[in-house]
Amino acid sequence: MTTNTYVGAVDQGTTGTRFIVFDHEGQVVANAYEKHEQIYPEPGWVEHDPTEIWENTKAVIRQALGQAGIGPDQLEAIGVTNQRETTLLWDADTGNPVHNAIVWQDRRTTDRVEQLEEEGMVETIRDKTGLEADAYFSATKAEWLLDNADPIKLERTRPADIRDRAEQGEVLFGTIDTWLIYNLTGNHITEVTNASRTMLYNIHDLAWDDDLLAEFNIPEAMLPEVRPSSDDATYGTTDPDGFLEAEVPVAGALGDQQAALFGQTCFDAGDAKNTYGTGSFFLMNTGNEAVESDHGLLTTIGFQRSGEDVQYALEGAIFVTGAAIEWLEDMTLIDDPAETAELARSVDTTDGVYVVPAFTGLGAPHWDQRARGTIVGMTRGTRKEHVVRATLESIAYQTRDVAEAMEADSGIEMTSLKVDGGAVKNNFLCQLQSDIIGSEIVRPVVDETTALGSAYAAGLAVGYWSDPDELRSNWQIDAEFEPEMDPDTADQRYDRWDDAVDRARDWARDSEE
């Protein structure tokens, strides 16, 4: 059954869309990628064109299959993983978006979140959803779209039509997984990990929460059905008359960070991983228990298999890590991300320079929406090498912020951390991370663990893989990094990082944005 058949994964990320085909050993057989436009209508606003994302999704599926000479009938299943929290609405009749998607990084609803804080809603939101009240999550984005989306795109003339039609289920809500599943199968479905990131889903009752829907004035009729991350019943199949010209089950989906947790085979309580992408996301499996955080972390759903209990996780969400490397490119301090290691090694230290890349505020464990990017400690002798090294160090320091909170909440001392994502190809960064965090860093052979996790979820659902033990046997180590820096030196530098973060806090003001 598995000799000439494969599982595909759509990995829809913040900057682009990838389709990867995996074989039974979890190895990459084909891989295609397309970037999409980043739209910045106003300072602090970030949007994507959902139609462009869907067109790119079809393109990369065709490209990957064509490159490898694989027919769509050789795909046993397709999994989906996605940038989380990014939110869109679309017309159920036409399938057309009513507005651009509002991206997870977007801060336009900061004032609304501060209103929630004034109303005393923070504890209620945390108790029900495990999340902080923050513009990061989907609820305030969906509320904004219902209040402000352009009615012309619905071919209607009155703005009130959007909300009226949403109450009838004629305008649909979704995160990017929902949008892709809808376009692949025609069914309006999400799964538990993505639902848990909306700030509308009760992670204890495993249901959309009536009180939160009322608070944000979100009609329940517009919400998708919530299913397991790995679904034996499947979410549906691709249309045999559609772009693939084949019926392929779409059977698994996970938000990108939970997908990486699954792809890193963190199936047991205490297993942890950190993914270095646009941002960095540190997750620890806490088993069947939803552990409440006292240190600024999120309690979230890790994954769910059909017929089994939900597995929960603690998460530290760092908004900007890989995006800080992109910023170095934007500022023409580097021409290519690969340069960062060489430039950073060319100086022994940052010469006292600290970069706090709070371009869209600070996430865990600080949760400061009005923090902004800051460089401190510069002198006339500061060179670009110091700034580049300080930017890489900021990634390691932010991870330590979260690691210390994770250990405090879980009571588990972390001696090893599995890492993945584009930035971990940088050996300098991996060694630096080990030094700053004071623990072993383990990088797997297959570092596309986000796509791999969604492929595993889909493949388990259709029997391509039999059980999690089979997946564990696929996992192989590429490299391990042990701490080399003197612990006292690491602690001293980390203490100064705290001082730099204090300078970045509460910088943005309404009058300036």
370 labelled ligand-binding: no
The 8 Å CB, 24+ separation contacts for 495-502 are 496/354, 497/354, 497/393, 497/394, 497/397, 499/354, 499/376, 500/354, 500/356, 500/374, 500/376, 500/377, 501/356, 501/358, 501/362, 501/366, 501/371
Which 8-state DSSP code applies to residue 137?
S
Helix axes of 487-504 and 384-410: crossing angle, nearest 10 degrees: 100
14 labelled ligand-binding: yes
Amino acid residing at 180: L
Contact between 289 and 312 under an 8 Å Cβ cutoff? The reply is: yes
C-alpha span between 224 and 294 (Å, rounded): 32
18 labelled ligand-binding: yes
Neighbours of 486 (CB within 10 A): 10
C-alpha span between 405 and 283 (Å, rounded): 12
Neighbours of 219 (CB within 10 A): 17
256 labelled ligand-binding: yes
Phi first, then psi, for residue 183 (nearest 5°) are: -75, -30
Q: What SS3 class is residue 257?
A: helix
27 labelled ligand-binding: no
C-alpha span between 68 and 310 (Å, rounded): 36
CA distances from 409 to 154, 362, 378, 405 (A): 47, 20, 36, 6
Helix, strand, coil share of the chain (percent; to 5): 40, 25, 40
426 labelled ligand-binding: yes
Amino acid residing at 356: V
448 labelled ligand-binding: no
129 labelled ligand-binding: no
Q: How many helices (H) and strands (E) does the chain have?
A: 16, 22
Q: Where are the beta strands (DSSP E) in 75-210?
A: 75-82, 87-91, 101-102, 171-175, 189-191, 201-202, 207-208
278 labelled ligand-binding: yes
C-alpha span between 326 and 39 (Å, rounded): 16
15 labelled ligand-binding: yes
Length of the chain in terms of residues written: 513
16 labelled ligand-binding: no
| Residue found under tokens 């706090």 | 356
Contact between 142 and 178 under an 8 Å Cβ cutoff? The reply is: no
85 labelled ligand-binding: yes
Binding residues for sn-glycerol 3-phosphate: 14, 84-85, 136, 256
Binding residues for glycerol: 84-85, 136, 256-257
Binding residues for ADP: 14, 18, 278, 322, 422, 426
Binding residues for ATP: 14-15, 278, 322, 422
Binding residues: 14-15, 18, 84-85, 136, 256-257, 278, 322, 422, 426
